[in-house]
């Protein structure tokens, strides 16, 4: 490969199971040492993607390159990958040590070298002294660490994690997130993790690939994905998002939502739409501002429909009457302190401000 | 992948082991496979004599009822297993002969054998060793309990008092059964014979596969009277069972128990040795101790309980007729009594 | 995104053999071998059997002529009706008795459930011939009960020889199967349904019909068909107590062994095979539905004490247990009596097997040898086949075919296997399109090999399903994990799969051993003079009227099987205790 920084390249990879298309023309690259999260709802094809990367499934079309070498038809054993499965797949009849040493034994290492390496790995995942236990005697988090140690024992160039945290308690999950990320950075190992948990993806990844129905719909840093979701699907899947349907383009940067016009600065891709096109506007609940100052633009009068207490803040459903019989609802996240200060109660009216740079525009009827 | 060849080795190992297993079935040089319908309790005594005379030959015996031995032989027609047939009904051997399975052989001492007891061809296709005949096994205790008269003839068995107290071998599988039916048809003529069998059928509790079983059933009291053959009754009496052997007044059906050589690609010399021995004097004397009519006179006194003139007890038996009509008789018999019997 | 990939170092033309994993090819080869094995030992012999049924003695094609003869000969075709009648009645009785028994074991709080269950399994370890023989000693003309315990009590006379005897023997034979299957069905009901029914005020009867019956319906239907197949195809018991009542199984034997009519034997076999296969297919459909029901998560039902009900069930289970134990004890007693019923001295006369046919102790030890081989090779082949079919990711269609062929023998009666094997293994070769293909399997004829293979095939399906169930419980990713680490699958098979499945493997081994010891139906056509077998000896001794030695030999088989079962039970328990370290129980 021309760029020595690139470790893995997927080039227009498709995978069909009979008539079902699990992956459609997926293309992306992973830099050396990068942590990539593949995010998507269940059944979207993300696990298939991981299995194709691993060489456990052979793609129907397209190519896979590792360090510029075409490995498209190489089996998993020739790709030098370490895999951690959702179920961990720890061998129940072997101790933690034996599990970790499993892959080492076939690599003509001396006994002492294996013992030493296993000790190192146990230390690395914080399981010193637990080596003699069988998996069933370990907690979920400990099992997960054994699985991780076993996967990295054989010094893989690529670590593949398939929903590694989904079977764990919320607390353990948060803790392990950090640990895995740290470990990955320390070892500098290129990692691809599949998850359906957006929080996990946002906190751990260098880059996120969002997959929907076998298609790669967005590829970007967590901030890009969150702030500038490429499609309404991505917007709705990651975090919460308000959609204002039935908007119409008036001119560049100006949209009609029935009686009121909204200015938008952050158009992407929709800038070239002709005037009069139907679009959907979107804004995240936390970006909805409460402002009474009539001089600012994008100000709307709304009525409080429902309030949901969420501890540090309230999630408030606001109804905006467009005309007789038509209305839309916008949800806003308002800090509890603000709610108290302003004395917001249900059925009260509330003017809101939709910041120009936080509104997103999507072509109507596309990608949701 | 250094261990790649391992699964292959495992599979090959398993296959090899199966082959080894299999080859244990292959015969060694001086092994002889003998099919016989002789009684289980007479065979060991004879074989001891053979072992004494020919310790180097190992004899393997397949023993079953006449019909079954015959069936087995015919089934293996294309790929015969047996080397020799010993002591099996001549009528059955004729069937095998018709199927082209028999190699003619004149054993040593053939000249002593009575003409009636051997095949007329020269060299003969089969050579007899002894005759066995119908005998009624009567359980004296049961007959007394049930107040049944002791039958003296086959005709007596038609008496309705015996209903449900008789057992008889199925002629399709049992040589005894066949010779009994064949004798009835020959002595009474076919029409009267079948009429007699119809009546007899009404009294029969069970038809058995083996010729010895009716006698054993009688011995155990499961039936009062078993139509069987003479030898059985005497043996069971010796064991302490309350069995009296009756020879029917009309005379007994009989057949020759005969030997033949099976035609195979390689006929073992041991097979001929065995056939020579099977009509030799020592074993003929042993036959004579339990069967009064042997292939040639031995001078051994007639066994206890047999009529003084055992040969006189035998009916005129036309083996050729019996062999020729065997299939037809059995079909008719099966049609009349087998399976239909429940519907009566 | 990388649109310039085409100009990267591209090595697509690596050769076939280096790029594709050798392991993959070995697995493919092995799966192919499994298919070939099943083809050779299941499909080809069946085909041979079918072709014999439409050919005359000289091998000429005669179409359905034999079938026409069969159905126009009342003495032959009446057997089909008899067989159906006997098996339907057996099924009704056995499933009813089994249901009550299983209900007692799963839904009441009676004591000694394990003991009762163990007792009810006894008939699984005996040759079915023994069921017939024991009946003779109980209900025959001179039976214990017919004579009222030798005059102590008033005697009861039943018309044993015929349908009555067959049905009693078959009920005994099918009872353990019914209990086993119904225990599973009754044991997996969701307790929440009962709580719901109770909270809605449903009475006992209504709950039974609205909750109990629907929740076990698939298990129940499956039980009905399994019992039907067992009773329909059994040969041992009808042979002993069938009297003149002809049924299909004994007809095959009579046609083949008694009358040398192989073509008709093949026809009767096909007639026997058809209802069996139909029942088998229906059973498979319902089994699948039942499995789907198990998969749903449910709360196990814990029975609550209920004095009257528990008392009744305790009484019932005790009665059934007593009858079963009494039944086999009668057989043991009869085998020790000198001359039944005249000289009741006890001793081991009949255990000497002198002057009787069948081969005596040589046969007994041959049977043990054969059963050991069947257990060892059968378990190895079954488990490995199940492993390849369950745990491979390649060759889906071939694996599906192998799966189907693996459960097909469930529908094959032993007699049919035996007869098909005679035809197939004894054939010197076949003329195919003018070419003569010699039969490489011919060497197996009349050898230990054919006996072992027939046993392996006869008992393949149940073992295969046991192995598959055990393998399904292993994580699907074990193979992938080891693959990703470059560990050959054989190593993972040996180090993980087999050790974890040891209880199931032992179970399969015992199943093969016990059934090979007891079976008579397939091997009776296949044994040879060199290799007499104990179960065949029982049949032959009974045939010759030597009922007491036949009984003695059956008792030896029963005791051997019980000893093996108990021995392996203890071994498994020890292994399980050791495995507790990693099962976490």
Residue B10: pLDDT band (50, 70, 90) is low
C54-110 pLDDT, tens digit per residue, is: 988 777 888 888 899 888 888 788 899 999 999 999 999 999 999 999 999 998 999
Contact: B21, C452; criterion CB under 8 Å: yes
Cβ contact B23–C447 (<8 Å): yes
Residues A27, C12: C-beta atoms closer than 8 Å? no
A 10 A CB-CB count for C136 gives 28
* Bond before C341 cis per omega within 30 degrees: yes
In chain A, alpha helices (H) = 46-54, 96-101, 111-124, 140-153, 170-187, 198-204, 222-227, 232-237, 336-342
| For chain A, percent of residues with pLDDT exceeding 70 | 96
Q: For chain C, which residues make up each domain, given as ranges?
A: 21-47+359-585, 79-245+305-343
The position carrying tokens 């296969």 is C277
What would the mean pLDDT of C7-13 be, rounded to a whole number? Answer: 36
pLDDT in tens, A256-299: 887 788 888 866 666 778 888 888 889 999 999 887 777 778 88
State yes or no: pLDDT of C297 exceeds 70.
no
Q: What is the pLDDT of residue A328?
A: 85
By Cβ distance, the residue of A9, A72, A75 closest to C2 is A9
pLDDT digit string, tens, across residues C466-491: 999 899 888 888 888 888 888 888 88
- ipTM of predicted assembly, 2 dp: 0.80
Best C2, C6, C471 member to test A by mutation, with max A CBs in 10 Å, is C2
Question: Residue C488 is nearest to which of B1, B79, B221, comparing CB atoms?
Answer: B1
Q: Which residue of C has its CA nearest to A92?
A: C582
Q: CA-to-CA distance for A223 and B177, rounded, in angstroms?
A: 99
Nearest CA in chain A to C21: A75
Considering only CB atoms, C448 lies closest to which of B21, B173, B213, namely B21
Q: Which residues of B touch C26 (CB under 8 A)?
A: 4, 7-8
For residue C291, the model assigns a pLDDT of 65
Measured between alpha carbons, how far is residue B63 from residues A1, B122, C262 in Å?
82, 28, 20
Measured CA distances, C583 to A13, A151, C300, C577 (Å)? 41, 23, 21, 10
Partner-chain residue, chosen from C8, C14, C487, that has the shortest CB–CB distance to A106: C487
Question: What average pLDDT is seen over chain A?
Answer: 88
CB contact under 8 A, B44 and C355: yes
The pLDDT value given to residue B28? 43
Q: How many CB pairs under 8 A join B and C?
A: 197
pLDDT of residue B317: 86
Is C477 in Cβ contact with A93 (below 8 Å)? no
Least confident of B25-29, C29-33, C243-247: B25-29
Helix (H, G, I), strand (E, B) or coil at C234: coil
- What number is the average pLDDT over the span B28-40? 82
C412 CA: distance to closest CA in chain B (Å): 22
B242 to chain C: which residues are within 8 Å by CB?
Answer: 342
Compare all CA atoms of chain B with the CA of C446 and give the residue at the minimum distance: B25
Q: Which of B19, B71, B78 sits opposite C260 (nearest CB)?
A: B71
pLDDT digits (tens, 9 = 90+) for B309-339: 888 888 888 888 888 898 899 889 988 887 5
* Domain topology for C79-245+305-343: MetI-like fold (1.10.3720)
Which region among A297-306, B270-279, C161-170 has the lowest average model confidence (pLDDT)?
A297-306
Q: Which of B207, B206, B212, B210 is nearest to B232 (CA)?
A: B212
pLDDT digits (tens, 9 = 90+) for A196-222: 999 999 999 999 999 999 999 999 999
Angstrom distance (rounded) from CA C453 to CA C434: 30
Would you call A89 and C478 a contact, using CB atoms and an 8 Å cutoff? yes
Least CB–CB distance from C30: residue in B3, B11, B219: B11
Tallying the residues shown for chain C, one arrives at 585
Contacts of C168 (CB under 8 A, 6+ apart): C135, C139, C241
Q: Is residue C414 within 8 Å of C45, Cβ to Cβ? A: no
Residues of A within 8 A of C2 (CB-CB) are: 6, 9, 11, 27, 29
Tell me which residues of chain C have a C-beta less than 8 Å from any C-beta of chain A: 1-2, 4-5, 7-12, 14, 19-21, 23-24, 393, 475-478, 480-488, 491, 495-496, 499-500, 579, 581-584
CB contact set of B319 (below 8 Å; sequence gap of 6+): B90, B91, B94, B255, B256
Domains contained in chain A, CATH given = 6-235 (3.40.50.300), 243-363 (2.40.50.100)
pLDDT (tens digit, 9 = 90+) per residue, C367-383? 999 999 999 999 999 99
Q: Count Cβ atoms within 10 A of the Cβ of residue A245 and give its class: 0-12 exposed, 13-18 middle, 19 or more buried.
A: middle
Q: Look at phi and psi of residue C303 and say left if phi exceeds 0, alpha if psi is from -120 to 50, else beta.
A: beta
**Chains touching chain C at 3 or more Cβ pairs under 8 angstroms?**
A, B
- In the predicted model, is pLDDT for residue C293 greater than 90? no
pLDDT at B6: 46
B306: its two tokens: 């047999």
pLDDT of residue C456: 96
Lowest average pLDDT, out of A44-53, C373-382, C480-489, C496-505, goes to C480-489
pLDDT (0 to 100) of residue B235: 85
Residues ≥6 apart with Cβ < 8 Å to C136: B222, C143, C160, C240, C241, C547
Q: Which residues in chain C are contacts of A70 at CB distance < 8 A?
A: 10-12
Predicted confidence at residue C294, as pLDDT, reads 55
Q: Which chains touch A (3 or more CB pairs under 8 A)?
A: C
Q: Which of C477, C482, C500 sits opposite A92 (nearest CB)?
A: C500
Question: Which of C74, C446, C491 lies nearest to residue B3, judging by beta carbons?
Answer: C491
Please report the beta strands in C453-581, taking only residues with DSSP state E, as ranges in sequence order.
none
Give the closest of C33, C257, C428 to B11, CB-based.
C33
Q: What pLDDT is recorded for position C263?
A: 86
Mutate to test the interface with A, among C582, C584, C585 (most CBs of A within 10 A): C582
> What pLDDT was estimated at residue C42?
93
Q: Say whether residue B79 is in contact with chain C using an 8 A CB cutoff.
A: yes
Rounded-to-integer distance, Cα A282 and Cα B259, Å: 104
Whether the predicted pLDDT of C48 surpasses 60: yes
Tens digits of residue pLDDT in C166-218: 999 999 999 999 999 999 888 877 788 888 888 888 888 888 888 888 888 88
> Considering just the CA atoms, what is the radius of gyration of chain C in Å?
26
Q: If you count residue pairs, one on A and one on C, with CB atoms under 8 Å apart, how many are there?
A: 120
Query: What distance in Å separates residue C15's CA from the closest CA in chain B?
Result: 18
> What structural domains and CATH numbers belong to chain B?
31-131+255-308 (3.40.190.10), 133-253+323-343 (3.40.190.10)
Q: Which position has the token pair 């260098």?
A: A206
- Closest-CA distance of chain A to residue C393, Å: 9
Q: What is the pLDDT of residues C121-178, one digit of tens each?
A: 999 999 999 999 999 999 988 888 888 887 777 878 888 888 999 999 999 999 999 9
Nearest to B342 among C22, C244, C380 (CB): C244
Distance of CA C297 to the CA centre of its chain: 30
CA of C453, closest CA in chain B: separation in Å? 9
Confidence of residue B13 (pLDDT cuts 50, 70, 90): low
Instruction: Answer left, alpha or beta for residue A7, where phi above 0 means left and psi between -120 and 50 means alpha.
Output: alpha
C447: nearest CB among B25, B74, B217:
B25
CB-based contact B222 C544, cutoff 8 Å: no
pLDDT-derived band at C514 (thresholds 50, 70, 90) equals: very high
pLDDT at C20 over 50: no
**pLDDT confidence of residue A65:** 93
CATH fold match for the domains C21-47+359-585 and C79-245+305-343 = yes
Which pLDDT score, from 0 to 100, does residue B340 have?
Answer: 43
pLDDT band at C581 (very low <50, low <70, confident <90, very high): low
Instruction: Provide CATH code, domain C21-47+359-585.
Output: 1.10.3720.10
Asked if B7 is an interface residue toward chain C (Cβ–Cβ < 8 A), one would say yes
- Using one digit for the tens of pLDDT, what is the confidence trace for A10-33? 999 999 988 899 999 999 999 999
> Quick check: C582 and A93 CB within 8 A?
yes
Tell if the CB–CB gap between C19 and A74 is shorter than 8 Å: yes
Q: Report the percentage of chain B scoring pLDDT > 90.
A: 47
pLDDT over 80 (residue B9) = no
- Contact residues, chain B, for C141 at CB < 8 Å: 221-223
Do residue B1 and residue C530 have CB atoms under 8 angstroms apart? Answer: no
Say if residue C4's pLDDT is above 50: no
Tell me: pLDDT of B341 over 80: no
State the smallest CA–CA distance between residue C106 and chain A in angstroms.
29
Place C17 in a pLDDT band, splitting at 50, 70 and 90.
very low
Question: Which has the minimum average pLDDT: B7-11, B98-102, B110-114, B192-196?
Answer: B7-11
Cβ within 8 Å, pair C448-B41? no
Cβ atoms of C535 and C520 closer than 8 Å: yes
Q: Is the pLDDT of residue C12 over 60?
A: no
Least confident of C13-22, C112-121, C410-419, C546-555: C13-22
Q: Do C482 and A83 touch (CB under 8 A)?
A: no
Spatial CA neighbour of C454 closest among C423, C409, C417, C416: C417
For the cut 50, the answer to whether the pLDDT of residue C1 exceeds it is: no
Which of B7, B206, B226, B237 to mutate against chain C (most C CBs within 10 Å)? Answer: B7
pLDDT at site B4: 39
CB within 8 Å of chain C, chain B residues 111-130: none
B145 touches chain C (CB under 8 A): no
Q: What is the CB neighbour count within 10 angstroms for residue A329?
A: 15
What's the longest Cα–Cα distance across chain B? 87
Closest CA to B49 of B251, B240, B286: B286
Confidence of residue C5 (pLDDT cuts 50, 70, 90): very low
C15 pLDDT tier (thresholds 50, 70, 90): very low
Q: What Rg, from alpha-carbon coordinates, does chain A have?
A: 25
**Residue A77: pLDDT band with limits 50, 70, 90:** confident
* Cα C284 to Cα C381: distance, rounded to the nearest angstrom: 23
Q: What is the mean pLDDT of chain C?
A: 87
Distance between C564 CA and the closest CA of chain A, angstroms? 27
């Amino acid at each position: 490969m021309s760029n020595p920084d690139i470790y893995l390249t997927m080039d227009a990879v498709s995978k069909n199971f009979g008539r079902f298309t699990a992956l459609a023309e997926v293309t992306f690259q992973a830099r050396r040492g990068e942590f990539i999260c593949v995010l998507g709802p269940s059944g979207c094809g993300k696990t298939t993607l991981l299995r194709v990367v691993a060489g456990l499934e052979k793609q129907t079309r397209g190519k896979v390159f590792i360090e510029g070498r075409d490995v498209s038809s190489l089996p998993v054993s020739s790709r030098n990958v370490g895999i951690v499965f959702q179920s961990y797949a720890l061998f129940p009849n072997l101790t933690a040590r034996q599990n970790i040493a499993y892959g080492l034994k076939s690599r003509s290492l001396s006994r002492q070298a294996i013992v030493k390496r296993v000790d190192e790995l146990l230390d690395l995942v914080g399981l010193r002294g637990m080596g003699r236990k069988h998996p069933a005697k370990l907690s979920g988090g400990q099992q997960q660490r054994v699985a991780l140690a076993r996967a990295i024992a054989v010094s893989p160039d690529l670590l593949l994690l398939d929903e590694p945290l989904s079977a764990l308690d919320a607390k353990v999950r948060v803790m392990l997130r950090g640990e895995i990320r740290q470990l990955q950075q320390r070892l500098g190992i290129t990692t691809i993790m599949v998850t359906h948990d957006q929080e996990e993806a946002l906190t751990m990844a260098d880059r996120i690939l969002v997959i929907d129905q076998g298609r790669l719909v967005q590829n970007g840093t967590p901030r890009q994905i969150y702030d500038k979701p490429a499609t309404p699907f991505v917007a709705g899947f990651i975090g919460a998002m308000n959609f204002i349907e039935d908007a119409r383009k008036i001119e560049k940067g100006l949209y009609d939502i029935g009686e009121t016009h909204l200015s938008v600065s952050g158009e992407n891709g929709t800038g070239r739409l002709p005037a009069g096109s139907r679009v959907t506007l979107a804004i995240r609940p936390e970006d909805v501002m409460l402002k009474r100052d009539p001089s600012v633009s994008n100000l709307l009068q709304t009525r409080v429909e429902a309030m949901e207490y969420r501890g540090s803040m309230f999630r408030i459903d606001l109804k905006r009457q467009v005309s007789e019989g038509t209305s839309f609802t916008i949800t806003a996240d308002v800090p509890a302190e603000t709610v108290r200060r302003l004395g917001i109660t249900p059925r009260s009216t509330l003017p809101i401000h939709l910041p120009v740079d936080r509104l997103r525009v999507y072509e109507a009827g596309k990608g949701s | 992948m250094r261990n790649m060849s391992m699964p292959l080795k495992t599979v090959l190992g398993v296959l090899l082991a199966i082959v080894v297993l299999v080859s244990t079935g292959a015969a060694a040089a001086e092994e002889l496979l003998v099919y016989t319908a002789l009684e289980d309790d007479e065979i060991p005594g004879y074989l001891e004599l053979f072992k004494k005379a020919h310790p180097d030959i190992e004899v393997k015996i397949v023993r079953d009822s006449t019909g079954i031995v015959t069936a087995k032989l015919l089934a293996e027609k294309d790929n015969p297993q047996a080397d020799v047939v010993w002591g099996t009904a001549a009528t059955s051997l004729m069937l095998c002969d018709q199927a082209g399975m028999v190699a003619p052989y004149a054993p040593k001492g053939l000249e002593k054998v009575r003409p009636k007891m051997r095949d007329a061809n020269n060299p003969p296709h089969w050579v007899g060793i002894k005759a066995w005949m119908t005998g009624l096994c009567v359980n004296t205790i049961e007959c007394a309990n049930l107040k049944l008269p002791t039958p003296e003839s086959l005709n007596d068995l038609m008496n309705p008092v015996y209903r449900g107290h008789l057992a008889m071998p199925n002629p399709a599988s049992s040589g005894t059964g066949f010779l009994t039916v064949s004798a009835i048809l020959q002595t009474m003529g076919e029409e009267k014979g079948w009429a007699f069998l119809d009546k007899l059928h009404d009294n029969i509790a069970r038809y058995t596969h083996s010729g010895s079983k009716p006698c054993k059933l009688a011995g155990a009291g499961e039936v009062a009277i078993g139509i069987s053959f003479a030898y059985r009754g005497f043996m069971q009496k010796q064991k302490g069972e309350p069995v009296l052997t009756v020879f029917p007044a009309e005379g007994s059906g009989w057949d020759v128990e005969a030997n033949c050589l099976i035609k195979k690609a390689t006929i073992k010399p041991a097979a001929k040795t065995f056939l020579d021995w099977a009509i030799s004097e020592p074993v003929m004397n042993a036959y004579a101790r339990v069967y009064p009519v042997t292939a040639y006179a031995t001078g051994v006194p007639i066994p206890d309980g047999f009529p003084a003139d055992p040969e006189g007890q035998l009916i005129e038996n036309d083996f050729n007729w019996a062999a020729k009509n065997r299939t037809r008789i059995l079909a008719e018999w099966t049609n009349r009594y087998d399976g239909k019997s429940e519907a009566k | 995104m990388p649109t310039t990939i085409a100009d990267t170092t591209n090595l697509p033309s690596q050769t076939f053999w280096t790029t594709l994993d050798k392991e993959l090819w070995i697995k493919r080869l092995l799966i192919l071998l499994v298919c070939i094995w099943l083809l050779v030992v299941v499909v080809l012999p069946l085909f041979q059997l079918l072709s014999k049924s439409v050919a005359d003695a000289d091998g000429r094609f005669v179409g359905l002529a034999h079938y026409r003869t069969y159905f126009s000969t009342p003495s032959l075709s009446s057997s089909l009706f008899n067989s159906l009648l006997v098996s339907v009645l057996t099924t009704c009785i056995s499933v009813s008795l089994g249901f009550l028994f299983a209900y007692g074991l799963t839904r009441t709080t009676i004591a000694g459930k394990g003991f009762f269950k163990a007792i009810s399994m006894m008939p699984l370890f005996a040759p079915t011939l023994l069921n017939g023989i024991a009946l003779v000693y109980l209900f025959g003309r001179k039976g214990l009960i017919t004579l009222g315990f030798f005059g102590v009590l008033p005697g009861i006379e039943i018309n044993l020889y015929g349908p009555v005897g067959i049905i009693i023997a078959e009920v005994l034979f099918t009872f353990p199967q019914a209990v086993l299957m119904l225990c599973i069905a009754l044991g997996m009901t969701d307790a929440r349904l009962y709580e719901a029914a109770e909270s809605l005020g449903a009475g006992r009867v209504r709950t039974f019909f609205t909750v109990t019956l629907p929740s076990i319906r698939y298990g129940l239907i499956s039980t009905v068909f399994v019992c039907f197949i067992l009773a329909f195809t059994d040969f041992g018991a009808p042979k002993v107590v069938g009297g003149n009542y002809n049924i299909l199984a004994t007809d095959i034997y009579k046609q083949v062994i008694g009358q040398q009519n192989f073509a008709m034997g093949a026809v009767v076999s096909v007639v026997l095979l058809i209802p069996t296969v139909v029942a088998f297919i229906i059973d498979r459909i319902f089994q699948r539905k039942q499995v789907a029901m198990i998969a749903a998560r449910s709360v196990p039902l814990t029975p609550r004490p209920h004095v009257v009900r528990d008392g009744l069930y305790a009484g019932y289970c005790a009665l059934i247990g007593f009858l079963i134990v009494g039944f086999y004890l009668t057989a043991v007693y009869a085998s020790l009596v000198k001359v039944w019923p005249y000289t009741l001295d006890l001793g081991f006369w009949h255990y000497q097997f002198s002057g009787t046919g069948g081969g005596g102790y040589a046969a007994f030890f041959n049977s043990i040898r054969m059963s050991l081989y069947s257990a060892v090779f059968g378990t190895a082949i079954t488990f490995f086949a199940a492993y390849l079919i369950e745990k491979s990711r390649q060759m889906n269609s071939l694996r599906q075919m192998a799966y189907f062929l693996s459960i097909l023998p469930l529908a094959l009666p032993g007699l049919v296997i035996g007869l098909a094997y005679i035809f197939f293994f004894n054939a010197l070769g076949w003329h195919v399109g003018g070419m003569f293909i010699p039969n490489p399997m011919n060497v197996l004829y009349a050898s230990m090999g054919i006996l072992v293979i027939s046993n392996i095939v006869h008992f393949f399906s149940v073992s295969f399903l046991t192995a598959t169930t055990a393998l399904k419980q292993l994580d699907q990713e074990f193979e992938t994990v080891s693959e990703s680490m470059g560990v050959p699958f054989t190593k993972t098979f040996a180090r993980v799969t087999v050790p974890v499945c040891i209880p199931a493997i032992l179970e399969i081994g015992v199943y093969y051993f016990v059934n090979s010891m007891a079976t008579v139906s397939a091997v009776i056509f296949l044994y040879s003079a060199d290799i007499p077998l104990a179960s065949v000896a029982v049949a032959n001794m009974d045939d010759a009227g030597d009922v007491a030695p036949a009984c003695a030999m059956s008792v030896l088989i029963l005791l051997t099987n019980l000893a093996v079962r108990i021995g392996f039970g203890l071994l498994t328990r020890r292994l399980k205790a050791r495995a507790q370290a990693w099962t976490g129980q």
